[in-house]
Amino acid sequence: MSDKDGKFNKPERGSSPLPDHIMLSFWGDAKTSTAISWRTDENSGDSYILYRREGSADLLRQEAVTRSAETDIDRSNYHWVRLSGLEPGCKYCYTVGDDEHRSGEFTFETEPEKLDKFSFIVISDHQKGSPCHLPDYSMVGEMLKTALAKHPECRFIFTAGDNCDNGQNDLQWNGMFEGLKGIIESLPYMMTTGNHDNRGFISYFPEPVGKFYLEHADFFDFQFSLSYPDNGPEGYETENYSFDYGNAHFLVMGINAPEKVEGWAYDDLQSSDKTWKLGAYHFPIYPVMPEGQNDDGYPWLRRPIEQGRLDILFEGHEHSFARTFPTKGDELFDRPSEGTVHYIVGNGGGNIYCSNCQKTWHSCFYPQEERMGFYTLVEIDGDKLTATGYMADGRIVDIFTIDKSTDTITPHALAPIYERTKMAFKGRMLEFSARGVYPENIGGVWYAPFGVLIQSIGGKVEKGVDFLTCEAYEHYATFTEGSRFAKTDLGTVEMSGEAYFKDGQLFVPVDESAKMFEMAWYYAKRNNYINWNTPSEDKVLYKHPVKEEN
């Protein structure tokens, strides 16, 4: 980075002649190939890898692909090698660098032939923002080292996004690589992008200013352009890719351009004949945040997730753990063949939220409000997959097993089926406030006590002898008994039926009343409940007026 006189100075943790940021990954057939990437300063010589099969003295050499880049704070050379022609089930030793500056020796193992029993670790949201100029990723690093000491058989690390705090800023990646040093040089690190990987600050010094988000994870895509398979949708290949390992197919979907990801992801899943189809996407489709929404990608990704038939979708973003019942078409099921399990991976960096909650679609939930990391061990054994969620100190949060041979999930848990139609907002059942008051379908039109819904979410409600006025999300509407017209902030709206009283509440048509407040809704037929949603994550709760100063 440059000082006030325009002179370039290397930042702390900046690149040097000695290779750093060394990372192992899959780019092709994991039985016969692997990728290694690293970084040096801009003055390094021609870089290459020396590698050998363990036990052999015969060194092989391959030249690296090298590209130079000036980041927001540094000038560096980035290097990649894609090895092929390796032997399945073998261990290799390697070093990287130029003639004068070499790394230490690391090892990697290729996938054995006909592998149907293996394990891997899943983490998410391990980003760290402090200290500001030297972010400390030691928490996730120590957690992974402890986990791998306990589970040394793990074959790779799979993430669900937010790998660093600001992905457009070099110092953040410096922190992440520093924290994962001693791990990802020998264990493939397969990343999914999250919103933090997309964002950055125009300047980090003396303090971060000018936060921005990109529609393309530019710096991520550059750093890992030859680290991952090139099989994603055009223009978004590095953020989206898929790979096979053992009897499982893995689909990685970035958060950008979901309209382009949709067709690619569906075709990719349909073309795989692997026993297991596992995916990662950062934003939860069935959130735990009370205000959470899924409009960022789900309208496009529903087809690949549900019709492409993912068994499990690993998700992040909300920093708590949750697991859904098998879901399809917003209905909740019992058997794994009936839907996809959405698995929110908590957070690996001790980054807590204090507001998350269990929704009707979650069969298991843990708020993770302790400042420690969370990881999941996934073990595949033929037709069985077991996922165990651990806190960093070894406590088990959740264990569940999918058995394809019996089409069961254990421990057994039945998705709810309600006798009377219930109401939910963003997946949270109204329960107490709606006790004994149920929506009903008359002549194909759903009616609901809309005032109960608005009151439950913190909106303003006025109930009169023959009218109901609701106010929320900067909209209002007045409904009148016996009338099919509602007066709203956007004018008079004709509804599909007349408002009527029942059980002490005014019932109005669900569809039109939802639209008046920019809400969406669906009826989950199998489970018999109506869920309202809104793309806004704003809170509705009205505050006390502020006293005027004299």
pLDDT digits (tens, 9 = 90+) for 483-527: 999 999 999 999 999 999 999 999 999 999 999 999 999 999 999
Instruction: Give me the DSSP letters along 507-539.
Output: EEEHHHHHHHTT-EEEEETTTTEEEEE-S----
pLDDT score of 537: 86
**Considering the chain, what is the average pLDDT of its residues?**
96
- Of 123-132, 269-278, 290-299, 408-417, least confident by mean pLDDT is 290-299
Q: Residue 298 pLDDT more than 90? A: no
Q: What is the mean pLDDT of residues 234-242?
A: 97
Kindly tell me the sign of the dihedral angle through the C-alpha atoms of 547, 548, 549, 550: negative
Burial 391-402, CB ≥16 within 10 A → b, else e: bbeeeebbebbb
Q: Residue 104 pLDDT more than 70? A: yes
pLDDT score of 374: 98
The percentage of the chain sitting over the pLDDT mark of 70, rounded to a whole number, equals: 99
pLDDT score of 136: 97
Residue 146 banded pLDDT, cuts 50, 70, 90: very high
- Cα angle at 261 between 266 and 170, to 5 degrees? 140
The percentage of the chain sitting over the pLDDT mark of 90, rounded to a whole number, equals: 93
Would you state the structure tokens that stand for residue 264, as one six-digit string?
């690619």
Helix (H) or strand (E) holding 360: none
**Domains along the sequence of the chain with CATH:** 1-112 (2.60.40.380), 115-410 (3.60.21.10), 422-533 (3.30.457.10)
SS3 content of the chain, % helix, strand, coil (to 5): 15, 35, 50
CB-based contacts of 324: which residues, under 8 Å, 6+ apart? 286, 332, 341, 342, 343, 361, 362, 363
Would you state the structure tokens that stand for residue 462, as one six-digit string?
């006025």
Rg (CA), the chain: 26
Q: Residue 550 pLDDT more than 70? A: no
Q: Residue 3 pLDDT more than 70? A: no
Residue 355 banded pLDDT, cuts 50, 70, 90: confident
How big is the chain, counted in residues? 550
262 Ramachandran zone, left/alpha/beta (phi>0; psi -120 to 50): alpha
- pLDDT tens-digit series, residues 439-495: 999 999 999 999 999 999 999 999 999 999 999 999 999 999 999 999 999 999 999
- Confirm whether pTM is higher than 0.75: yes
pLDDT score of 500: 98
Rounded-to-integer distance, Cα 533 and Cα 286, Å: 11
Q: Residue 49 pLDDT more than 80? A: yes
Rounded-to-integer distance, Cα 514 and Cα 532, Å: 8
Residue 297 banded pLDDT, cuts 50, 70, 90: confident
pLDDT score of 353: 83
What are the start-end ranges of the H helices in 126-281? 138-150, 170-179, 195-198, 218-223, 258-270
Instruction: Give me the DSSP letters along 185-242.
Output: TTS-EE----HHHHEEEEE-SSS-EEEEE-SS-HHHHHHTTTTS-S-SSTT-TTTSEE
Rounded-to-integer distance, Cα 76 and Cα 399, Å: 44
* pLDDT, greater one: 352 or 411: 411
Q: Residue 4 pLDDT more than 80? A: no
- pLDDT tens-digit series, residues 315-326: 999 999 999 999
pLDDT score of 1: 60
Query: What are the two backbone dihedrals, phi and then psi, of residue 174, each rounded to the nearest 5 degrees?
Result: -60, -40
**Furthest C-alpha separation in the chain:** 91
Q: What is the mean pLDDT of residues 82-92?
A: 98
Rounded-to-integer distance, Cα 148 and Cα 222, Å: 29
Residue 199 banded pLDDT, cuts 50, 70, 90: very high
Q: What are residue 237's DSSP bridge partners?
A: none
